[in-house]
Amino acid sequence: MLRIFTLVYLRPEKEKSMANLKEIRIRIASVMSTQQITKAMKMVSAAKLRRAQDAIVQMRPYAGKLREIIENVSSSLDSSSGGAFAAQRKVEKVLIVAITSNRGLCGGFNSNIIKGVNKRINEEFAPQAKAGNVKVLSIGKKASESFSKKSNMSVGDYNTVYAALTFDNVAPIAEKIMADFAAGNYDRVEIVYNLFKNAAVQYVTTEQLLPITPPSKNEKSKAVNDYIFEPSKEQIVTDLIPRSIKTQLYKALLDSHASEHGARMTAMSKATDNAQELLRDLRINYNKARQASITNEILEIVAGAEALNG
């Protein structure tokens, strides 16, 4: 009777130990598989980041110089000379262009934009939002998914622009926004996007797209006005403003595109490091469980031998 009791008593502990070992082995295999995926995504994002970074670095000088030319040329003009896109109206209807990505797994990249837009609506345009006069145009699936849930706030999305992020593909979006502003559908248009600094740092930035902001007194004093204009100064401003608006939107998209890959590379790097730490802890637990299993087996053998001797 003593032999039977000893074997029956020790067997559940052995089975439990074996189950723990199997569970830990499954978790180790799962974490290793996840780590391989995060490593691959990190490498892909690093390669894409280099191209996206080169694009925005090359674009910034052109956008800055174009803005400088407009400020210089328009510095001596009155506010009405900028055409329909410079019309300063009472802000009653607002359009916010929210620029996010189509995919996740990039840390707080998308959520920061959504939070920034909501903060802008709740703090700066609360009366307009209460009247239902704040609309959001989404560029990127994540913004579209978020703001399409809010009734009558979303006015469309442009998620396919990332398939080929070129100036020619972005220009129709800017043209539609300009046409709506000129028609009086909106009194102000703002862009909320991630400004790229480096792979680890992106800033949520809000810029006024329309109406064109007139140069300040300091900017007027710095402006260079000794130009010979052909055709007229007014005609030059009228032609340059639409191109400047398209360029500003395109630059924001390039900034956001580079920021996305930087944020994803950073997030996948941290995920890979976390997976490595988790693997180390799991292997320690596995070794401890295996040692406990071996100890139990030895105790069974010793207990069985003592029962036979008894």
Residues marked active site are found at 106
On the question of a cis peptide bond just before residue 231, with omega within 30 degrees of 0, the verdict is: yes
Please state, in angstroms and rounded to a whole number, the distance separating the CA atoms of residues 140 and 160. Answer: 8
Please state, in angstroms and rounded to a whole number, the distance separating the CA atoms of residues 69 and 233. Answer: 12
3 state SS for the chain: CHHHHHHHHHHHHHHHHHHHHHHHHHHHHHHHHHHHHHHHHHHHHHHHHHHHHHHHHHHHHHHHHHHHHHHHHHCCCCHHHHHHHHCCCCCCCEEEEEECCCCCCCCCHHHHHHHHHHHHHHHCCHHHHHCCCEEEEEECHHHHHHHCCCCCCEEEECCHHHHHCCHHHHHHHHHHHHHHHHCCCCCEEEEEEEEECCCCCEEEEEEEEECCCCCCHHHHHHCCCCCCCCCCHHHHHHHHHHHHHHHHHHHHHHHHHHHHHHHHHHHHHHHHHHHHHHHHHHHHHHHHHHHHHHHHHHHHHHHHHHHHHC
Strands 188-196 and 134-139: unpaired
